[in-house]
Amino acid sequence: MKLDKAKADGVPNNAFKYIPFGNVQKLMKAIQAHGWWLKHKKRYLKLAITGLDGDGCLLGNAEYYRLGALFSDFVFASDGSPCGELVKE
């Protein structure tokens, strides 16, 4: 079941298991689906992804996050999806 279909059916995101992105290429695919803006989970903060490298990304103009920290601290601003990859069980 795709995440978008699950949302349409009223299944919450937390019903699925996510893990941090395994590499930046997987993050890039998610960016193409959800957009470049991220929302912090605990602070009132939205930042755009402004750069990518092999281990993580630059947010805004100064904050660098590795993929694990990105998963822990952010969701995609467009729809609240986790910043990680869906585990297919």
Instruction: Tell me the per-residue pLDDT of 19-61, one tens digit each, with 9 for 90 and over.
Output: 999 999 999 999 999 999 999 999 999 999 999 998 899 999 8
Instruction: In the chain, count H helices and then E strands.
Output: 3, 7
Q: Is 87 helix (H, G, I), strand (E, B) or coil?
A: coil
How far apart are the C-alpha atoms of 58 and 56, rounded to whole Å?
7
Judge whether residue 2 has pLDDT over 50: no
Per-residue confidence band for 8, with pLDDT thresholds at 50, 70 and 90:
very low
Question: Taking the complete model, does pTM exceed 0.85, yes or no?
Answer: no
